[in-house]
Structures are given as structure tokens and as C-alpha cells.
Structure 1
Amino acid sequence: MAVCLVAGLVTTTVSSTPSAAAALPSGFTDSLVVGGLDSPTNVAFAPDGRVFITEKRGLLKTYDTLTDTSPTVTADLQPQVQDFWDRGLLGVTVDPAYPTRPYVYVAYTHDAEPGGAAPRWGDECPTPPGATEDGCVVTGRLSRLTVNPATGVATGSEHVLVTDWCQQFPSHSIGTITFGPDGALYAGAGDGANFNSADWGQQGNPCADPPSAAGVNLSPPNARGGALRTQSPRRPAGEPVSLDGTIIRINPDTGAGMAGNPFAGSADANAKRVIAYGMRNPFRFAFRPGTNEIWAGDVGWVRWEEINRIPNATDAVAENFGWPCYEGTPTVSAYDDANLTACESLYTGGGHAVPYHSYFHPDPVAPNDGCPTGGSSISGVAFESGSGYPDTYRRALFFADSSRGCVWVMRAGANGLPDPTRIEPFVTGVNVPVQLLTGPGGDLFYLALGSGQLRRVSYPGGRNLEPTAVATANPTGGPVPLTVEFSGLGSSDPNPDTTLTYAWDLDGDGQYDDSTADRPQWTYTTPQAVDVGLKVTDDGGLTGTTTVRVTAGVPGENPVVTIADPTAALRWSVGQTVPFAGTATDAQDGPLPASAMDWQLTLQHCTSSTSCHAHNLQSFRGVESGSFVAPDHEYPSFLDLRLTATDSDGNTGTTTIRLDPATVNLEFTSYPPGAQLTVGTVTQAAPFTRTFIAGSNNTISAPSPQTLAQGLRHQFTGWSDGGEQSHNFIAPAAPATYRANYQLCLYNC
């Protein structure tokens, strides 16, 4: 979980791999399975024991077993994947008949405009068009890879099943792909719309949403673009159906919609695929074991997170969960006030599906759960299935929130379904959980993107589980001859009364044949950097491995890293180009080259002065200088710029600088006073003042009619800036006032 820093603070740290979990119910253990991953996003377990893990940048890695420490790069999709903000390689699943059917399926942000070829933008978005201004438009892609079961490497060309999911803005991209019990392939994706303000297609309409052509801004009441793409199955006959904000059910060999889908009779290929729609971002979903039910976590805007239930994914009923007209159970004022036909007809006609469960951003998910409130992003859904957990966990639903850094359990009720009145914290203090799933032994596994780890939650309870190896060295470096004392006594086993045996690779040749002591000693006589290996084995023959680096004949110190530009004094505006530059020196290597440096730009979105969550925006690898364009986001938020340098021995140093935005206070009034005005996502009575980041793009609406002076009905006549009743404005650098004017209704209004 990202933590807000004091304004202007620069910190220097030694890079490490922290534990991803801090607390569990009594009797459970949380163990590291795979570490050292670069922004892992999704994992899939194959029937033959292999583990496939995606990294956001576009790499698919394969581990032969859960104890394998040397993965194979199955596929490098970086040329066609856009790794930018929340975009990247985000989904993977394995054919149920693997390796007889040697197929692995991937879902990623395709770095190409609709109908175009990759790469279009690379892992950035220049200005113009600006990531959150006009947007760098891309698509989503779902593909099948053929993998050689012997080597774990993909062979032949990528077999593209679906390319669609027009995405104007850099979030709410592609998400989960998984097989259903019916053998069909299922996929979900977000709306690709603006996340800072209401979006009905008024910012260029590059996705060619009706009723106008691409490049023509849309306006109420007939706009059907932006977030309203999620309602596209309800468009008039003959208009194209978008896959944004939907869950689809397709043939895993062809990508075509399955027979029996709700819109199977449509002439539109996308409509044939859709089984559910009206979701903002169904990033993670799962089937309830033994059923055709889909349970989807739908990431909310600023108020509600949803868990949505599709009772039967194989029937001819298409559930519409109402976004952007609804969030949680309430209507969304920013869209309601615009009087959009797509929403008004839903309000009057009804028929949308309400969430099975939703939770409000300012509130705890469960009483006294100890998890942060405010920022929220539901990011994982999984069911208990065949685990060794206590009986009270049978058929329970687990769900995670990446912003709050927690996993909860919703225990099953008397009817066998998860009971929203029985929610408890399960794992707290997780470093950005982005996926939950059940794996070998029925245990719950989770991916922690922030710590680069796959972790496993087990309940020993009478069955043997793998031990965890922990090795230390003292000293870790120095001049030769260097005598080092090692210890494996920090190793542990989740099963009580288990004796561990030790095997060491002290010379770094890959063989655990140098010592069986728990605290061996070794002398290094030649200058070298050695990854010393430890393997621990329990009474049942299960093993765990780890390494610790020793640098003999070299200092082994961490590089000293400095960010020269920008400084903490910078106050950036949206769209501003910000140059950066840094240096790194090492006691052994001297000044480090650009190839040793990696930069990470992160947006910290805060709901209070002490509650922030991170969005990784952009990475710059192997450069000592460059520039980025300051993003658009609601206030309060700020940027973290981190520089990490790695020396020839693998030692790293890191420094981070906080960059605060330039802000402006804007006043919103009405004549007569007291009108309810909507600014962004908040509706309140005028006059009021709000703080914005200079240059940010925002939506304002003036609902009409309203009861104002002397309790009489008034109708809207115009804004002081000349904008329409619902319109966007760019926050100026200097304070300003926006007034909504009303007049007394002379007739019915």
C-alpha cells in the first residue's frame, strides 16, 4: 500500500523484497512462492504443474514447479504491449487440456489504434495528444499462444482471437481471461473512459461512438460514447456494439461468440460475444465451483466497489449492471444531471442488475478490519475449493482491494451462497494485491504487484506443506581472503514438530553439495560475487530454496543515487513537460552508466493527508535523463519520481522525490443562490469552493429544474463561462468563479 510522504521529502533506501503480508487469522501461514518479479499481474496453474506468470511490461514467464527459481521466458510480447499507467499484459489462462492442447491464452493492451498496427505509442503517451487530455487511443487483444511442453517456450505465431476494446484513456483496460466449466473462454475489460470526469464522448470521440463520426465531439442528450460504451448492447439497431465494460463468452479456437449467448442472433460479431455489460471495470472475476455462476469485482469510480453475480453464464440472459448510470445502487449524479438518453431510459425502464454486494469508499469493508479507507479498487475474487482450511471457510468467497491492501473472506450462508453479513479480514497489509486464485492443495494464492511476489496462504492442519528457506551471511562482502559465516536458522516450516535438514551451495556452482550444517563457514580467496544457495528439506521430503549474495574482494556497498532534476520545489501543471536527470556512483565501479539506471513515475492518489494509493504511470529503463508529461488527475494527488541504480555486483540504491502539483481554488455559485451543482463526482449546494490541479479537465453540471428562491421552481439558463448545462472546463492557473444562472419557471418545467 502506498504511503504518503511529507511534501518535498526525498528518501534514499536500499532495495529489498518485503513480505507481502502482515496479518492472518490464527493457524494460517503466508509463504513466499515466487519473488523478484517485475510488476506481476496474473498467474495461471497448468494441469502438469507448471506455473505461468505475466509481467505488466509484456513478458510471460513459466516456472516448472512451485519451487523452480529459474523461470523460462515463454513469450516476449513487449513490442505489441503498451506498458503505461494501468495498461499492460494483464491476463493469462491455460487450456484445461494442457499439454494435450498446448495452448496458453493472454490478454493485453494492444499498442495500436482501432484498425492500426503495433507499436503505435510505445510505453508512453506524448503531448499532444496527452494521456488524460485527448488520450493515446489503443485497443485490447486476446490471443492464443502455442507452447512447446518440453521447453515451455511459445512456438509459431500468435493466434489472435479478438482485437477490440477501444480505450481512449490509460486505465480500465483488458483484465481477466479464464475457462468456464462449459469449456468456453471468458474475458472481461473496462470502459477505457475518462476516470477524472464524466465522459460521454466529448473529448474527441476517437472510438467513433454514435451518433457522430470519429473526431466529432458528442453532447447530451444523445451521446453514446465514453463510459456509455458499456451500454452499447442497448444502442439502436444497426449501431456497433463495443466490448468495453463487458464480460464475453467465446470459442477458444476461433474467438467467435458461443451459441446460446444472449445476442447470438445479432448480426454484430461483438454482440454475439457479450453475456454481461454495464460494468466500469470487471478487472477480476471467477466461477463459483460446481456452478455456471460468475462473480465479478467491478472497480468503482469514487464511491462504491461492487461484487456482481451472473447467475448463469451460459443462459440467454444478458445482465446489465448499469454503469455509468448507476454505481453501487445509487445513480451517478455526474451522468444523471446531464440528462443522457441512455441513462434516462434506464432510470425509467428499469431492468438493470444490482450488485450482489457493494462497499462504500469512506467506510471499512468489515468492522474493525484495520484496513485503510478512502481509495478503493476491488482487484481479486476467488472461492474456497478443496482446501485444508477449517470447515467455517467452506464455499467462502475471498476478495481483495489493491488500494486498501487487504483480502477479506465472505463466509457462506445457510443457502450456500456467500453472505455479505459474514465478512471478515483474512490477509491485511498486502503490497498491492492484483489477483486471487486457488491453486495446488486448494490453498489461496495471491499476486502482490508492489512487492513482485506470488504468495500462498496455507492452513497446516495435518498435511505437509513446503518449508521456507531463509539464509543470512556475515559479512556479505569485504577484501579477500574473506571468511563468511552463514546461517539457515531463520528457515521455517508451517507444520509443527518438523525437523529441517540443510544443504548449501557455498561456491555458487549450482550444486547443494558444500555443507549440511545449519551454520556453515566458507572462505573466499579470489575476487568474485557469489549467489550462495540454501535448500532446506522437511521430514516429508518437501523443499524450499533461497539465495544470499556475497561479494568477495569488492566493497559490496550500494550505489549512491542522486536526482538532480527536478527538485521538490517544482509545482507542475497538467500537460507540463518535466525533464528529469540523475547520477549514480559506486565505490567499486565509479560513476555508473545510463544502462544501470531505472526510473519509475508513480501517481499517488490521496483521499486524505494520510491515506494514499499508488498508480504506476511510466517506467524509463536504462536512461540517466529524459522527460515526462505531468498527468491529469483529481486533487489531492502528487507524483513520486524514483531512480534506482544497480552496480556490477547487483547491489542497488534508490532515491525518491515527491513532486506536488500547482493548485487553484475555484468558486461555484448560482443565481439565485442555493442551487445543487455537480462538480466532478460531488453534488452540493452553491456557493462552495473546490481545489483543482492547474490545467486539469473537469466536468460541471447544473441540474434543472430546481426549487430555489421562495420555494419556487427555477430552470437553468446558462453558465457564466458560456458552457452547456453539462460541460467540461480546464482549471485555470488563477482563482475564478463559475456561476450557474436560473430563472423562475413561467410555465410548467
Structure 2
Amino acid sequence: MVNLVRAVQNFSRTNSTATTQAARATGSARRFVPGVAALVLTLLSLPPASRAATLPGGFGETLIANGLSAPTAMAFAPDGRLFVCQQGGQLRVIKNGVLLPTPFLSLAVDSQGERGLLGITFDLDFFANGYVYVYYTVNASPRHNRVSRFTAAGDSAVAGSETVILELDNLSGATNHNGGAMHFGRDGKLYVAVGENATPSNAQTLLNLLGKILRVNADGTIPADNPFYSTASGNNRAIWALGLRNPFTFAFQPETGRMFINDVGQSTYEEINDGIAGANYGWPNSEGPTSNAAHLGPLHWYGRGPVETGGCAITGGAFYNPATSQFPSDYVGSYFFADFCSGWIRRLDPANGNVVSGFASSISSPVDLKIGPDGSLYYLARGSGAVFKIQYTATVAPVVSAHPANQIVAEGQPATFSVTATGTAPLSYQWQRDGTNIAGANASSYTTPPTVAADTGARFRCVVSNSSGNATSNEATLTVTTPQPPPDAPQLLTEENSTRAIALDSVTWFRDPFPLSTPFNFSADGRTRVMLFAVNLKLLPGETSSAVSAEAIDSQQKVFPLGVEAVATYPGFDWLTYVVVRLSDELNGGGDVQLRIKVRGVSSNSVAIKLRGTTIGAP
């Protein structure tokens, strides 16, 4: 088989080069060589390969299902079932690891060359509506590709439920370069990859949908924010990016929505392109890296060469960002891609486009890659008509990824500490207090009994272990606060015991009590001040008069902030504190004014100050 693969590659290079030279001589674009397709079809008809894939240490593969006829694409349904497209028009279902005997759907398709049932995806609201989308070649004249939607009823499509979402352009006599991949983006739109039908000029025109990435709403209508909506017309407004030869597969990174487009080259390079709205990837005027400012060059490309170093048709494509990672942590974020002819899978660093490493080889014609809900990498081997799962089989020691945090709680309340760790399951947890195991504390979080003041300063950590080792988290410290009784409220002294009591002032203190009927000026600036006397008012060490505030409330319940200028113990009376308050200029006219002070958030009683009808600030 390997020799035949090499024959296909050598034939492709030789004839493509000859065609390219002829095209250059005549000034025309490069043309498809039909003989290559014939050899590829011969390759695909070979019996299944007997040898297993070659994988990195610690990885193994499992056969999920075989007996598939010319598979082309696969996708996981939101409920975990794996759907596989067969080129002849049958959509198969693998459920609980078993290939169901009855197809979910059987379509009449044109399966010549690279035509047939080529793509599948699921509605974002699949659990509610059961919608399944497929891409296939209509077996009627004129031949063309179509995107349709079917409704699922269990493991079968509802009879008569087909709804045509998008009819693509009529095809030429060439049966190759159809594309077919489909995915919903994070924006809720359906993205469709379409090949240029072996007519390179199709890729550069806005007059048809061939050689493009399309973007439509789930019902097939066209979003008005598409990049060519105002310059194209009709269905061509669905064009989202152009300049592609045969984008057989593409993928979205789940967390970011970043798109990678895998474009199969002609005679020079296979490409991985960043999917950008409105981008022109240059085909047929460029293939691989380009200096043309009007074209967006690939993030990564590789040449066509020997099986060990090159390839001839990029396929697959999957970002490793599963909800639950089954691979070691350094694989998370990688982009896996495959080559159909060379039978390998590689992984790419999306940050810079460098190939991190070869990953798998000796695979029988891989056409699609997907990350399963279990975090394993699944590949569809067309040459053997089978689906395989690659999983990490070695045991990974735990690594703490989120350490417990310090906790502050009130006395009598419990405290909860949590830890997060990665590693091969099952993971065991043992919480410790001050280095000593806590009996029964064997979960990823630990809640203490009700705390007491003596618990302050206790240190908690967790030891996570499995059969390969253990990891100890950082320590977290517990602080227990003791509720303080509220301080006694300061009490302003008055000449009578009532809420409308008249405040004592300095004159009252040294003379017989009498109502404060006129303002007093206590300084040369002519501003009106009142000296109040209070008990239960002591400044703490380091506190100043700024710890005390004052306010007045007039008969209209309007509040006036007052300035506190002095707070001190009265000489000879350590239980008595005087407060000098500067009245506000806004307190004009006669009437009663309620005045109170506040210390560390605690208010005093309110006292009345009787003012005569005059301006407070008047000298």
C-alpha cells in the first residue's frame, strides 16, 4: 500500500508539474489531472490495512467500529453518538461503541470521484429540535452540491423531514474538489467549506460559491454582516472567505472560536489557514507562502514529498480543547491534522504555526479527526473503513492546578478549602491541618467544624495522589474573627431629659443653666461654634478629631454636615469629653436645629439648639 501511495504522489507531482509548465507556457491557470483521481480511487478500494498506527510512548489506539464503506466525514452528536458519512449516501451511527446496522439516513447521491455524502454537523439546539445538517451531491441533473437539514427521531431521520438550506452552483464534468465540511461557529452561524470544482478561476470570483467558505444562518438565510453582503448578490452574499482550492476540512477552537482551514494543494504545498472574514487565500495565484499583500498566507504549510517527510492531501483537523482532557496537559491547545496519502497525524502549536511533533503514522488514509467527549482523539480511516480512538494509556501523576485559598470567617462559622488537580483517575485526596491528616477529609474540598478563636493561624493543605505519585497543595491559612460588642453610644449632655433637650454649652457649664438662645463666637474668625459635652466618648490611641463627625438637621429634615474642630477630655474630669463643632453658614434663620455626633459609625443622641433669626456666620 505504501508503494501505491508513493506512486500516487509521484504521479501527482510529475503530471501536476507538467500541467503547471504547460499552463505557464500558455498563460493559463493550472489544471486538474484526472489520472491522479483514478489512482486515488484505486487506492481506496484496497482491503483494510492490517498494521496498527505508530504512536508516541504512553498512547494506544482502540478500534471503535469497522465495516464502513468509503467513509468521508464524521461528527459527534451532542448526546455522544458518533455519526459517520459514507460516500455512497448512507449516514451511519455508532452508539455506545457499536455500529448500528440500519443507517440513520440513506440519500440518493452522485458518488463519482470525490462526490457523494461529504459533511455533517448538528444544530446548536439539537436537544430541543433534533436537527442534523448534511452536505451531499445531488443525483439529478444538473449535478450540484446541497446542504440539507433533517430531523432526528432516535437513531433514524424522520421520513420526509428534509429541508434544503442551500443549493450550491452547478458542477462541471470534473468530479473532484467538492469540499463538504460544515460547523456551527460560536456566533451561531453555519459555516460551509466548498471546493472550486477543479476550475481554479472559481476561487477568485464573487459570482459563484465555489472555492469559498460560506456563512449562513441556521435556516439558510444570509446574515447581513457577511463581508461581501453589499458587493455580491443573491446566494453569493453567503461568501465569507475566498481563494481556496479544496478546503476539505476545517475546525473551530471551542474556547476562542478561532478557525483553521485545511486547504488541499495542487503540486507544491498543503495549507493550514487562519479563518478570517473577507480573507482571500490566493488560489490559484498563490499556493503556500505568498508575498502578495492582497492574499492571506497560510499559518502553516508543508510540501509534497516522500511519505516520511511530506504529504499530498491535508485532511482532518481538530483542536485539542476538550471539556475533560484525557491527554497530558502539554497537549491541551494543540491542533491535530492528518495527511491522506502519507497516513500520518501531526500536532501544531496554534500560537506560531510550528509543528510541535509528529504524532501518529502508518494510518490507512485518514480523512477526518475529531476530539471525543471523553477527551480522546478519534480518526476516520478511509483505507480500512474504520474509526479508531487514540487515548493516553500511561498513568499521569497528579498536578495541583488550583491551590486552596486563605479563609477569613467569623467565630462560630465553618470554613471551606478547595483544591483542583489533574492526573490519571482515580485521584485520592487527603486534607491536613498543620501537617497532620484530618480523619475523613478525603474529597477535593474540606469544610471545618464551626470555628473558635483558637483556630486562627491553622494551616490547611491537601495531598492528591494516584498510582503514579502524589502532589501537595500550597498551605492556606485560617483566620477567625471574634465579633466585638458594639461600643456604647456617646451621650450628649443636656439641661433636660427629653429628645428636644437643649444642649449644654460652655456658659451653661460654668454658670446656671439657661437655654442657648444666641450663637456664640469662640474664635476671632467670626464663625459660630458650639462646645458640646459628652460621656462615653473616648478617642482610641492614634485617633484624632477626624474620628468624630457631626451633623445638624433642620425643621425640614435637611441634613447639614458640620465641622468638628476639637475633641478632648475636659481638664480634671476624665469621664467627660468636650467637642467643638463649627456650625454651617447654611443654618440661617430662627428655630430649632437637631444636632448629633457620630464616633466610629455609632451615633449619639440628638439635642436641640435654639437659634434666633439671624445669620449664623455674622460676627
Q: TM-score range by the shorter chain?
A: 0.5 to 0.7
CA shift for structure 1 position 24: 0.3
Contact 1:62 1:152 in 2 (8 A): no
Residues 176-201 of structure 1 deviation map (CA, whole Å, 9 limit, x = unaligned): 011111111111011102xxxxxxxx
Q: Relative to structure 1, is the Cα distance of residues 88 and 3 closer, same or farther in structure 2, using a 3 angstrom cutoff?
A: farther
Matched, 1:48 2:79: yes
1:250 is matched with which residue?
Answer: 216
Q: Find the aligned partners of 2:6 and 2:358 in 1 and give their Cα distance.
A: 29
2:203 is matched with which residue?
Answer: 230
Q: Relative to structure 1, is the Cα distance of residues 377 and 5 closer, same or farther in structure 2, using a 3 angstrom cutoff?
A: closer
1:595 is matched with which residue?
Answer: none
User: What amino acid does structure 2 have at the position aligned with 1:110?
Assistant: V
1:73 is matched with which residue?
Answer: 103
Matched, 1:156 2:160: yes
State which of 297, 305, 316 in structure 2 corresponds to 1:380: 316
1:355 is matched with which residue?
Answer: 298
State which of 174, 177, 185 in structure 2 corresponds to 1:180: 185
Tell me, what secondary structure is at the counterpart of 2:204? helix
Q: Find the aligned partners of 2:47 and 2:296 in 1 and give their Cα distance.
A: 45
Q: Relative to structure 1, is the Cα distance of residues 228 and 173 closer, same or farther in structure 2, using a 3 angstrom cutoff?
A: same
User: What amino acid does structure 1 have at the position aligned with 2:159?
Assistant: T
CA shift for structure 1 position 71: 3.5
Matched, 1:324 2:284: yes
Matched, 1:276 2:236: no
Matched, 1:394 2:332: yes
CA shift for structure 1 position 25: 0.5
Contact 1:139 1:167 in 2 (8 A): yes
Tell me, what secondary structure is at the counterpart of 1:4? helix
Residues 91-135 of structure 1 deviation map (CA, whole Å, 9 limit, x = unaligned): 01122222311111100122344xx4xxxxxxxxxxxxxxxxxxx
Tell me, what secondary structure is at the counterpart of 1:230? helix
Q: Find the aligned partners of 2:275 and 2:5 in 1 and give their Cα distance.
A: 41
User: What amino acid does structure 2 have at the position aligned with 1:401?
Assistant: D
Q: Find the aligned partners of 1:6 and 1:404 in 2 and give their Cα distance.
A: 8
1:4 is matched with which residue?
Answer: 4
CA shift for structure 1 position 154: 3.3
Q: Find the aligned partners of 2:332 and 2:369 in 1 and give their Cα distance.
A: 16
State which of 365, 375, 379 in structure 2 corresponds to 1:442: 375
Q: Find the aligned partners of 1:248 and 1:172 in 2 and give their Cα distance.
A: 15
CA shift for structure 1 position 265: 2.6
User: What amino acid does structure 2 have at the position aligned with 1:184?
Assistant: K
2:67 is matched with which residue?
Answer: 36
User: What amino acid does structure 1 have at the position aligned with 2:301?
Assistant: S
Q: Find the aligned partners of 1:64 and 1:154 in 2 and give their Cα distance.
A: 18
How do residues 539-688 of structure 1 correspond to structure 2 at under 5 angstroms? none
Q: Relative to structure 1, is the Cα distance of residues 184 and 20 closer, same or farther in structure 2, using a 3 angstrom cutoff?
A: farther
Q: Relative to structure 1, is the Cα distance of residues 358 and 227 closer, same or farther in structure 2, using a 3 angstrom cutoff?
A: same
Q: Relative to structure 1, is the Cα distance of residues 425 and 83 closer, same or farther in structure 2, using a 3 angstrom cutoff?
A: same
Q: Relative to structure 1, is the Cα distance of residues 71 and 303 closer, same or farther in structure 2, using a 3 angstrom cutoff?
A: same
User: What amino acid does structure 1 have at the position aligned with 2:181?
Assistant: T
Contact 1:305 1:328 in 2 (8 A): yes
Residues 201-235 of structure 1 deviation map (CA, whole Å, 9 limit, x = unaligned): xxxxxxxxxxxxxxxxxxxxxxxxx31111112xx
User: What amino acid does structure 2 have at the position aligned with 1:73?
Assistant: P
User: What amino acid does structure 2 have at the position aligned with 1:244?
Assistant: L
CA shift for structure 1 position 167: 2.7
Q: Find the aligned partners of 1:372 and 1:24 in 2 and give their Cα distance.
A: 15
Q: Find the aligned partners of 2:84 and 2:394 in 1 and give their Cα distance.
A: 29
Tell me, what secondary structure is at the counterpart of 2:129? coil
1:641 is matched with which residue?
Answer: none
Matched, 1:64 2:95: yes
Q: Find the aligned partners of 1:359 and 1:84 in 2 and give their Cα distance.
A: 29
Tell me, what secondary structure is at the counterpart of 1:392? helix
1:457 is matched with which residue?
Answer: 390
Q: Find the aligned partners of 2:394 and 2:223 in 1 and give their Cα distance.
A: 43
Q: Find the aligned partners of 1:163 and 1:424 in 2 and give their Cα distance.
A: 40
CA shift for structure 1 position 378: 0.3
RMSD: 2.8
Tell me, what secondary structure is at the counterpart of 2:368? strand
How do residues 480-519 of structure 1 correspond to structure 2 at under 5 angstroms? none
User: What amino acid does structure 2 have at the position aligned with 1:380?
Assistant: G
Contact 1:83 1:89 in 2 (8 A): yes
Q: Relative to structure 1, is the Cα distance of residues 318 and 21 closer, same or farther in structure 2, using a 3 angstrom cutoff?
A: farther
Contact 2:48 2:364 in 1 (8 A): no
Q: Find the aligned partners of 1:88 and 1:56 in 2 and give their Cα distance.
A: 5
Q: Relative to structure 1, is the Cα distance of residues 327 and 39 closer, same or farther in structure 2, using a 3 angstrom cutoff?
A: same
Q: Relative to structure 1, is the Cα distance of residues 64 and 418 closer, same or farther in structure 2, using a 3 angstrom cutoff?
A: same
State which of 102, 127, 141 in structure 1 corresponds to 2:146: 141
CA shift for structure 1 position 289: 2.4
Matched, 1:261 2:226: yes
Q: Relative to structure 1, is the Cα distance of residues 101 and 360 closer, same or farther in structure 2, using a 3 angstrom cutoff?
A: same
Contact 2:345 2:358 in 1 (8 A): yes
Tell me, what secondary structure is at the counterpart of 1:320? coil
2:546 is matched with which residue?
Answer: none
State which of 262, 265, 283 in structure 2 corresponds to 1:300: 265
Tell me, what secondary structure is at the counterpart of 2:200? helix
Q: Relative to structure 1, is the Cα distance of residues 266 and 71 closer, same or farther in structure 2, using a 3 angstrom cutoff?
A: farther
Q: Find the aligned partners of 1:51 and 1:173 in 2 and give their Cα distance.
A: 23
1:171 is matched with which residue?
Answer: 176
Contact 2:337 2:369 in 1 (8 A): yes
CA shift for structure 1 position 330: 4.9
CA shift for structure 1 position 462: 4.9
Q: Find the aligned partners of 2:51 and 2:221 in 1 and give their Cα distance.
A: 40
Q: Find the aligned partners of 2:359 and 2:310 in 1 and give their Cα distance.
A: 19
Q: Relative to structure 1, is the Cα distance of residues 22 and 55 closer, same or farther in structure 2, using a 3 angstrom cutoff?
A: same
Q: Relative to structure 1, is the Cα distance of residues 2 and 82 closer, same or farther in structure 2, using a 3 angstrom cutoff?
A: farther
- The answer for unaligned runs of 5 or more in structure 1 is 8-14, 117-137, 194-225, 234-240, 312-316, 332-346, 364-370, 464-494, 498-749
Q: Find the aligned partners of 1:82 and 1:373 in 2 and give their Cα distance.
A: 35
Tell me, what secondary structure is at the counterpart of 2:393? coil
Q: Relative to structure 1, is the Cα distance of residues 263 and 24 closer, same or farther in structure 2, using a 3 angstrom cutoff?
A: same
- The answer for unaligned runs of 5 or more in structure 2 is 8-45, 397-423, 427-619
- Percent of aligned pairs sharing the same letter: 37
Q: Find the aligned partners of 1:282 and 1:243 in 2 and give their Cα distance.
A: 13
Contact 1:20 1:448 in 2 (8 A): no
2:530 is matched with which residue?
Answer: none
CA shift for structure 1 position 75: 1.2
Q: Find the aligned partners of 2:352 and 2:6 in 1 and give their Cα distance.
A: 41
Equivalenced residue count is 360
User: What amino acid does structure 1 have at the position aligned with 2:358?
Assistant: P
Tell me, what secondary structure is at the counterpart of 1:419? coil
User: What amino acid does structure 2 have at the position aligned with 1:159?
Assistant: T
Tell me, what secondary structure is at the counterpart of 2:251? strand
Residues 278-335 of structure 1 deviation map (CA, whole Å, 9 limit, x = unaligned): 0001110001221232101100001111110024xxxxx400001001111259xxxx
Structure with more of its chain in helix, by fraction = 2
Q: Relative to structure 1, is the Cα distance of residues 441 and 146 closer, same or farther in structure 2, using a 3 angstrom cutoff?
A: same
2:363 is matched with which residue?
Answer: 430
Larger radius of gyration between Structure 1 and Structure 2: 2
